[in-house]
Structure 1
Amino acid sequence: MMRTLPAFAFFALSVAIFAEKPMIVAHRGASREAPENTIPAFELAWKQGADAIEGDFHLTQDGHIVCIHDKDTKRIAGKQLIIAESRLADLQQLDVGIHKGKAYAGTTIPTIEQVFDTVPPNKTIYIEVKCGTAIVPALVEAIKHANIKPEQVVVISFDKNVIKAIKTAAPRLKASWLCGFKQSKSGSVSPSFDHVLATLEQIGADGLSAGKDHLGEPLVSRIQAEGYEFHVWTVDNPEAARNFLDWGAKSITTNVPGRMKQALAGNP
């Protein structure tokens, strides 16, 4: 069953959507200029005026949560350690910055606690869970003991079971389902709108975070009309970002937060 809003609630939602300042989210930090998912990348994103950072997180063998996109370290460190089968101490021996230049030599994989420590009081962190639901208890505890408020946290994942587990364990935390749309040779787009809405309702998500491709204003508007937030990734073109903002996107995730902020403010 789809959830619907009465007319007055939809009007209030529409006002809130367009009145609220949209967030520019730094994808894996300022990842175009600094090594992705590292403290230098997140610190640079804050310096560039990002409203939020987005990072990818896995659970280690010894129960720590670390910030890294891939399930192993080969791409960013040149040496392959599988995160789920490795201890934190071993993972933090790797240099994940030298590939981005000598200035970043010696950069290590951060823990979620280290990433939390970079977040200013008025900013937000988007936590993308890249592993399964086993991370959820440790993640909820880490957020509980962090030096940030729960309102500063948004959990995102392609795994709908992760979103459902988060909303069950910590209903007050915001959580959005990640979904990328694909277009067939015949022109049809999948997943269908009905499937997306059914999934959002089933898992108790607060919103949809969609890839930028194959989106249109009708779909975005219907998502919001059903009472869900709409977020979009990964947008590096200011003109495309403006279109999504006009459609009511709550956040724009980008690899170039500084340039995006300037462009949207009307600066060259």
Structure 2
Amino acid sequence: MRISLTLAIVACLPLLSHAAEPLIVAHRGASKAAPENTLPAFRLAWKLGADAIEGDFHLTKDKRIVCIHDADTKKVSSRNLVVSRSTLAELKELDVGSFHGEKFKGTRVPTLSEVVATVPDGKQIFIEIKCGPEIVPFLLKQLEASSLRHEQIVIISFKEEVIRQVKSQSPEYEAFWLCAFKTDKEGAVKPGVDEVLQKLAAIGADGLSSNSRIAESFIEAVKAKGYQWHVWTVDDPDEARRMESLGVESITTNVPGLIRQSLTEAAGASGR
């Protein structure tokens, strides 16, 4: 019995070591190498070893959910359509791949269901809501109809009301409030920790997802209250290792392969 227990503990060590590393979340897919928020970018992210993908979502005129960052298509297409005033069929006519290179010509705006279908078992999707809370009923209905388990889905938004409605209607989904910290002329980080903690509590968020411009004491205060902390968008390996040392839960990056390799090599060098 003692030998079997020892072998079981040894066998678990690699898993425990990996679990200590933050999740690598592919920002809009592997968006450095493929057009952002498209199926080629998401599929490439999985090939590069991402633990999760992150995509941006809007509601169309005909109440379909599509994956695109901006409220219009100017950035990614030669035609400029406002997403909320366009139907899915109209958006599907656009080429949103050529801007990133000729080999991506003909790439289309994907729907939420198409993006969700790429998520392998054991992986996650971070769904960033870019529009307002009007999307929430349609979002929750589609997610419940998908093949993903609740724990594979994370909903994120800068908009407090989106997080509030998600958590009040479907508390089984994790939801994080997004916040971009800035430093004022006196060197103080805004918003302050008290304001952040009050907002997280008021909207029922499970955690905070922020840029990396944040002090260690701030992070400790957030985590001491039981909230998770996630960070974006980190493409520098040194910064990623610093974030890992501060106990971040996940690192969102445009280069998931590079950041994964960097953290794995650092773990090997330290004997973890």
Q: Would you say same fold, with TM above 0.5?
A: yes
Distance in 2, matches of 1:188 and 1:78, equals 42
Letter in 2 for 1:185: K
CA drift at 1:194: 0.3
Question: In structure 1, what is the equivalent of residue 178 of structure 2?
Answer: 178
Letter in 1 for 2:100: K
Letter in 2 for 1:244: M
Within 5 Å, which residues of 2 pair with 1:1-268?
Answer: 20-213=20-213, 215-266=214-265
Structure 2 portions without partners, runs of 5+: 1-15, 267-272
| Rg comparison, structure with higher value | 2
Distance in 2, matches of 1:61 and 1:152, equals 28
CA drift at 1:185: 1.1
Distance in 2, matches of 1:19 and 1:102, equals 39
Structure 1 portions without partners, runs of 5+: 1-15
When the two structures are aligned, how many residues end up with a matched partner? 250
Distance in 1, matches of 2:20 and 2:229, equals 13
CA drift at 1:77: 0.4
Distance in 2, matches of 1:22 and 1:188, equals 27
Distance in 2, matches of 1:216 and 1:191, equals 12
Distance in 2, matches of 1:172 and 1:150, equals 7
Q: Secondary structure at the match of 2:56?
A: strand
Question: In structure 1, what is the equivalent of residue 269 of structure 2?
Answer: none
Distance in 2, matches of 1:120 and 1:20, equals 21
CA drift at 1:97: 0.2
Residue deviations 1:154-213 (CA, integer Å, cap 9, x gap): 000000010000001101100000001111111111101100000000000000001112
Q: Secondary structure at the match of 2:107?
A: coil
- CA RMSD in angstroms, aligned pairs only: 1.3
Q: Secondary structure at the match of 1:175?
A: strand
Whether the 8 Å CA contact 2:21–2:263 is kept in 1: the answer is: no
> Runs of 4 or more off by more than 4 Å in structure 1?
none
Distance in 2, matches of 1:118 and 1:21, equals 23
Please identify, of 109-118 and 21-30, the stretch whose mean Cα deviation from structure 2 is larger. 21-30
Q: Secondary structure at the match of 1:75?
A: coil
CA drift at 1:21: 3.8
- TM-score scaled by structure 2? 0.90
- TM-score scaled by structure 1? 0.91
Distance in 2, matches of 1:201 and 1:49, equals 34
Question: In structure 1, what is the equivalent of residue 8 of structure 2?
Answer: none
Please identify, of 87-96 and 97-106, the stretch whose mean Cα deviation from structure 2 is larger. 97-106
Q: RCO greater where, 1 or 2, for CA within 8 Å and sep 6 or more?
A: 1
Residue deviations 1:85-128 (CA, integer Å, cap 9, x gap): 00000000000001111110000000000000000011000000
CA drift at 1:248: 1.0
Letter in 2 for 1:249: V
Please identify, of 60-69 and 258-267, the stretch whose mean Cα deviation from structure 2 is larger. 258-267
Identity over aligned pairs, percent: 51
